[in-house]
Amino acid sequence: MFIETQATSDPAKLKFLPGRQVLPHGTLDIRDRAEAARSPLASKLFDVRGVAALSFGPDYITVTKDSGEWQQLKPALLGAIMDHFMSGAPIAADLAPPADTPGSTGTDALAPRIWDALRQVIDPELGYNIVDLGLVYDVSVGGDGIASVVMTTTTPGCPATGYLSEGARAAATGVDGVRSAGVTLTYEPRWSPELMSDEAKAHFGIPRDGVRR
């Protein structure tokens, strides 16, 4: 999954574009943590220190901050958004889950199986699977059975890059129903421990907010 960010005229607001539907119609403004309780995604975002308000639209999430710098806030926000969309949970309790879009795990019956297969690929340096490390950004499958995996490595020039990309391609191709698979490497956004799953953070002794104390 690739999430773009877009500056706004207000330096306290930053727009996140997940590349898929956020709301089926209209907008949803969340002004504080109490209102965030109705939305699993909003609750996760309000767990990031510095978040003051949110606005959800058809294809965007606007975050308003009251403290901190965006370069420090962005990794945690990107991780929360990615975790939410990968989970398939609804944006809000009183709304249906986002409509399926091409490349989403809801649309492609094979995609969840590919995600599971990718968990068998272990980063040789960290000794943990690439999905829970947050190295896999997106999985999509075309109607022709050709899969596409978008992933990153912990650092550009990582010596395990070839091993990991080939392992991901082989894992995806090994899923019954997948004719072939391609792997695209990207470093936008750059990987950080904030992208790890909660289980991976616990394994490495990293608090959920990513800050060691």
Which two structure tokens, joined as six digits, stand for 193? Answer: 């421990």
Residue 98 has pLDDT above 60, yes or no: no
* pLDDT digit string, tens, across residues 101-143: 333 333 347 888 999 999 999 999 999 999 999 999 988 887 7
CATH level 3 topology of 4-87:
Ribosomal Protein S8; Chain: A, domain 1 (3.30.1370)
Instruction: Domain ranges for the chain, please list them.
Output: 4-87, 111-203
Least confident of 8-22, 44-58, 76-90, 187-201: 76-90
Distance between CA atoms of 75 and 58, rounded to whole angstroms?
Answer: 23
* pTM for the whole structure: 0.52
Distance between CA atoms of 139 and 119, rounded to whole angstroms?
Answer: 13
We find that the CATH architecture of domain 111-203 is: 2-Layer Sandwich (3.30)
What is the pLDDT at residue 61?
94
Residue 1 has pLDDT above 70, yes or no: no
Q: Summarize the confidence of residues 97-103 as an average pLDDT.
A: 38
* DSSP code for 194: G
Residue 212 has pLDDT above 70, yes or no: no
What is the pLDDT at residue 93?
57
Residue 76 has pLDDT above 50, yes or no: yes
Residue 213 has pLDDT above 50, yes or no: no
What is the pLDDT at residue 63?
95
Residue 169 has pLDDT above 50, yes or no: yes
Give the phi and the psi of residue 148 in degrees, each rounded to 5: -130, 130
Q: What percent of the chain has pLDDT over 90?
A: 48
Distance between CA atoms of 152 and 2, rounded to whole angstroms?
Answer: 11
Q: Cα angle vertex 47, ends 17, 213, to 5°?
A: 120
Helix or strand run (H / E) with residue 172? helix 161-173
